[in-house]
Chain A
């Protein structure tokens, strides 16, 4: 797919029969879906449903067993990494670094990184730029990690449990930050268990169960069809 085709193609991501098998366990099974630009998409499912596997496949951290995944028409690689901003579900930062070292690290490697936005967010969350990461609490480190990810003007944000480890006040700030980054060019894929907290900001929702998509539709449509909120429907569908 060439550049002009990409420009007029509203599909940011396309999966075709995407399958990932670990040993004998199928983590994702024949996943076929597309993401349009300008959407906030909730990736919802219980533990072990394949959410993190899907996000890792998008980011090129795993190789599909079968099928394919493309972002902007490219297979995961240098070109896709330039446009995807990824927040993993674990701490990935170098502890020896200071916060401002991290800012310069991101600035060096990502052309779309906005230094000023990062420092503004650090100030808002009362995080000292010259603090060493190892001296920060787990929750604060998670905030720093999220700030780095959201300070990019990426085309696709993949956020794996972005609000799981932070306090409710910071959670609101983070969700507002996510909404502020919402524009017609970029999409946000958000994986979380805290559905009630994010329900109001989602445009679409994907329900994953045992590596298979059971629902993928606009949130309003899901609510209308089921007569329940997304949170209620999730509890109903994934009842233990």
Chain B
């Protein structure tokens, strides 16, 4: 049944998203023109400004469209007008939530990719020097990391090898990618959880209740996350070790290691815990406490 739910979710959304992406791609020539050196009269100036503004709005729109549609579809299908059909299908709520979260995550990913492609193409054609500078900077960074570096300190010599920094960077990159993949599906589930809890608390004012629930969950998450990250950073060696603290590069490297090996594991585990928690609450309420008044 999960496959069928995913199929119908795609069928219901693909036309809208393809239209949004096509509009974004179609706006590229206008954005390139707006950043060109060509100077015309007042009208051309206005047109260039307007095109650039519209392009930026479109890129933002491409990214937030999946969020808006994700919220709208869950609300109308599971709690709103069409919920009578959705909730009488012979499917488990677990499958329903999974299908909607996966499809929403897929469109979020597509939205991000489309934005990056659009931005890259516009920069490539209108400001190629920015792309070249970025490439050079990356190349320089790689070169810098290709040599072993020695630091002579009062308590002896500290050696930072190319391998250890590259490994740290690769671990950090992997953790970031995992975090992004997780957020693609955990973010919609957080919205679903807020809506379902909102409906459970106050069926007559479910929208207001859902918004309040969302902010309460977010506030609690931010508090926990801030406290935990503060503790991790304060207790880190680059803050407490006077030899490391005295040197800028060593501090930077130690900070990188703290983020990679202490903060990122916490952030990932915390995100997974929030995802499991919100999924469980949503599933439980839809399965055992549904009240469509």
A-side interface residues toward B, CB under 8 Å?
22, 56, 59-63, 78-79, 81-82, 84, 86, 88, 90-94, 96, 101, 105, 108-110
Contact A86 B291, CB 8 Å, known A91-B81, A92-B82, A109-B4 = no
**Are A93 and B82 closer than 8 Å at their CB atoms?**
yes
Would you give the shortest CB distance from B201 to chain A, in whole angstroms?
13
Q: Any chain A CB within 8 A of the CB of B227?
A: no
**Are B81 and A92 closer than 8 Å at their CB atoms?**
yes
Contact A82 B90, CB 8 Å, known A63-B289, A90-B84 = yes
**Are B88 and A63 closer than 8 Å at their CB atoms?**
no
With a cutoff of 8 Å between Cβ atoms, the chain B residues found around residue A81 in the complex are 88-90
Contact A96 B12, CB 8 Å, known A60-B87, A109-B89 = yes
> Roughly how many angstroms separate A109 CA and B3 CA in the complex, as a whole number?
11
**Are A86 and B288 closer than 8 Å at their CB atoms?**
no
**Are B12 and A92 closer than 8 Å at their CB atoms?**
no
Q: Any chain A CB within 8 A of the CB of B144?
A: no
Nearest chain-A residue to B288 (Cβ)?
A63
With a cutoff of 8 Å between Cβ atoms, the chain A residues found around residue B170 in the complex are none
> Roughly how many angstroms separate A60 CA and B85 CA in the complex, as a whole number?
12
Q: Any chain A CB within 8 A of the CB of B158?
A: no
**Are A61 and B290 closer than 8 Å at their CB atoms?**
yes
Would you give the shortest CB distance from A218 to chain B, in whole angstroms?
29
Which one of A61, A94, A105 contacts B88 once the chains associate, using CB atoms below 8 Å? A61
**Are A109 and B1 closer than 8 Å at their CB atoms?**
yes
27 contacts between A and B (CB under 8 A): A60-B87, A60-B88, A61-B88, A61-B291, A62-B291, A62-B292, A63-B289, A78-B90, A78-B91, A78-B92, A79-B90, A81-B89, A84-B88, A86-B84, A88-B84, A90-B81, A90-B84, A91-B81, A92-B81, A92-B82, A92-B83, A93-B82, A101-B11, A105-B8, A108-B8, A109-B89, A109-B91
**Are B84 and A92 closer than 8 Å at their CB atoms?**
yes
**Are B90 and A62 closer than 8 Å at their CB atoms?**
no
Mark interface residues in B261-293 (1 if CB within 8 Å of A CB, else 0).
000000000000000000000000000111111
Beyond known contacts A61-B84, A79-B90: 4 more, CB 8 A cutoff: A86-B88, A92-B85, A93-B85, A96-B12
Nearest chain-B residue to A101 (Cβ)?
B11
> Roughly how many angstroms separate A40 CA and B83 CA in the complex, as a whole number?
27
Which one of A63, A88, A90, A109 contacts B90 once the chains associate, using CB atoms below 8 Å? A109
Question: What 8 pairs between A and B have smallest CB-CB spacing?
Answer: A81-B90, A92-B84, A82-B90, A92-B85, A88-B84, A61-B292, A108-B4, A78-B90
> Roughly how many angstroms separate A101 CA and B81 CA in the complex, as a whole number?
19
With a cutoff of 8 Å between Cβ atoms, the chain B residues found around residue A56 in the complex are 292
Nearest chain-B residue to A85 (Cβ)?
B88
**Are A94 and B82 closer than 8 Å at their CB atoms?**
yes
With a cutoff of 8 Å between Cβ atoms, the chain A residues found around residue B88 in the complex are 59-61, 81, 84, 86
> Roughly how many angstroms separate A94 CA and B9 CA in the complex, as a whole number?
12
